[in-house]
């Protein structure tokens, strides 16, 4: 006997921003909801371009671009409260900016400075996570704490398509399921794990299918459709918050950039393929929709463009003006109080010229 599961992908807007599925969510006509989403996506993209430029001019270390994926993080974060906890990978700047992490902080991180992860804004959010999927287990722990305290909060954990092959991921969704935890796993399926396409990553029909193995809710959504993303995230986070358990939310998108600034994606994928996905740009799509509803116009676009450029410049300046920390600070925060055993080493660092 074979059993098959079907996961439809939620989509409201097509690539031109025209409505292809109804009914739309009730807030879909609310400029007060839509414009902040749009603005944050635009800021994220402008920041992203600037970060790449900084790396190319030797002013930033390796950087992982989020180009083309802005809607997923921004829309999801727009559903979260200050008490929820975000556990990102390294392409969720949109979500992080929405929640108060600054561009300068992200630049400091990629610029090789730990202070970049000491977020002044969202004090409980996890920092960028590099060892793939390991933070999925952290999300389980965070969510467990929330449930134990009976708080109506949620942990939102972003992973990529490659991460869903990893043991940490399976262990995490399994535990989240058996403990019925308030956690949402947003799987950003951007089709590529460095050079490995999703087709080589798994035989599962979709990544959402992995939810079945864990016994948790699974959902698919067009990750470049901001409205659909926000709606799917709302349902998932709502369920989590209210004791209805975790969700694995697969958001479909495309990694428009190289894996990192040191990667050259042309080695393993064609320019034509990348170009074709330009049509699915999330920012264009939301703008066209807003324009069609009379909620946005050229004047606002120009204003946003200018304001964004200014903001990015200001934040870059903050970053570039931050001097490197004193070398002995590598001993700071190693423990709550540096044990005596390491005093001599610390002193040696101070004395070294």
- Residue 143 is a binding residue for another protein (CB under 8 A): yes
Catalytic residue (choose from 115, 268, 305, 333): 268
Binding mask 45-84 for another protein (x = CB under 8 A): --------x--xx---xx----------------------
Shortest Cβ 44–another protein spacing (Å): 14
Among the listed residues 9, 301, 320, 328, the single contact to another protein using CB under 8 A = 301
Among the listed residues 32, 340, 351, 352, the single contact to another protein using CB under 8 A = 340
CA 129, CA 122: separation in Å to the nearest integer?
Answer: 16
Catalytic residue (choose from 153, 241, 255, 285): 255
- Residue 348 is a binding residue for another protein (CB under 8 A): no
Residue whose entry in the numeric block shows the structure tokens 């921004």 = 74
The reply to whether 220 belongs to the active site is no
CA 193, CA 197: separation in Å to the nearest integer?
Answer: 6
The reply to whether 255 belongs to the active site is yes
CA 267, CA 47: separation in Å to the nearest integer?
Answer: 26
Number of residues that bind another protein (CB under 8 A): 67
CA 169, CA 192: separation in Å to the nearest integer?
Answer: 17
The secondary element (H helix, E strand) that includes residue 95 is helix 93-98
- Residue 6 is a binding residue for another protein (CB under 8 A): no
CA 34, CA 209: separation in Å to the nearest integer?
Answer: 31
Helix axes 226-241, 31-56, angle to 10 degrees: 100
Contact assessment for residue 272 and residue 57, using Cβ atoms and an 8 Å cutoff: no
CA 193, CA 170: separation in Å to the nearest integer?
Answer: 17
- Residue 85 is a binding residue for another protein (CB under 8 A): yes
CA 223, CA 188: separation in Å to the nearest integer?
Answer: 8
Give the pairing type, strands 192-193 and 183-189. Answer: unpaired
The reply to whether 209 belongs to the active site is no
Binding window for another protein (CB under 8 A); candidates: 92-100, 123-131, 204-212, 231-239: 123-131
Q: Any idea which residues carry the catalytic annotation?
A: 255, 259, 268
* Residues in contact with another protein by the rule CB under 8 A: 53, 56-57, 61-62, 85, 114-115, 117-119, 123-124, 126-127, 131, 134-148, 155, 167-168, 171-172, 174-175, 178-179, 194, 259-260, 262-264, 266-267, 278-279, 281, 283-284, 287, 298, 301-302, 330, 332-336, 339-342
């Amino acid at each position: 006997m074979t059993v098959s599961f079907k996961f439809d992908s939620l989509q409201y807007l097509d690539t031109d921003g025209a409505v292809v599925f109804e009914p739309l969510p009730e807030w879909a006509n609310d400029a007060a909801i839509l414009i902040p989403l749009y603005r944050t996506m635009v800021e994220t993209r402008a920041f992203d371009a600037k970060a790449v430029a900084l790396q190319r001019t030797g002013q930033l270390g390796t950087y992982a671009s989020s180009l083309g994926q802005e809607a997923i993080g921004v829309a999801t974060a727009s559903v979260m409260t200050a008490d929820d906890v975000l556990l990102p990978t390294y392409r969720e700047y949109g979500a992080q900016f929405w929640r108060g992490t600054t561009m300068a902080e992200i630049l400091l991180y990629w610029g090789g400075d730990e202070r970049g992860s000491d977020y002044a804004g969202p004090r409980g959010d996890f920092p960028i996570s590099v060892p793939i999927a390991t933070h999925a287990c952290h999300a389980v722990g965070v969510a467990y704490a929330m449930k134990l305290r009976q708080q109506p909060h949620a942990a939102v954990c972003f992973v990529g398509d490659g991460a869903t092959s990893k043991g940490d991921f399976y262990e995490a969704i399994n535990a989240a399921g058996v403990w019925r935890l308030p956690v949402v796993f947003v799987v950003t399926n951007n089709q590529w794990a460095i050079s490995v396409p999703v087709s080589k990553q798994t035989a599962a029909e979709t990544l959402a299918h992995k939810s079945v193995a864990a016994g948790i809710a699974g959902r698919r959504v067009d990750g470049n459709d901001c409205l659909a993303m926000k709606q799917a995230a709302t349902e998932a986070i709502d369920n989590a918050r209210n004791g209805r358990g975790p969700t694995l939310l697969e958001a479909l998108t495309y990694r428009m950039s190289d894996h990192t600034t040191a990667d050259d994606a042309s080695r393993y994928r064609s320019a034509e393929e990348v170009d074709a996905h330009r049509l699915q740009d999330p920012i264009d799509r939301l703008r066209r929709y807003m324009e069609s509803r009379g909620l946005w116009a050229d004047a606002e676009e120009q204003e946003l463009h200018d304001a964004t450029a200014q903001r990015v410049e200001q934040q870059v300046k903050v970053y570039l003006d931050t001097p490197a920390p004193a070398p002995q600070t590598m001993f700071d925060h190693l423990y709550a109080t540096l044990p005596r055993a390491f005093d001599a080493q610390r002193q040696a660092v101070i004395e070294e010229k």
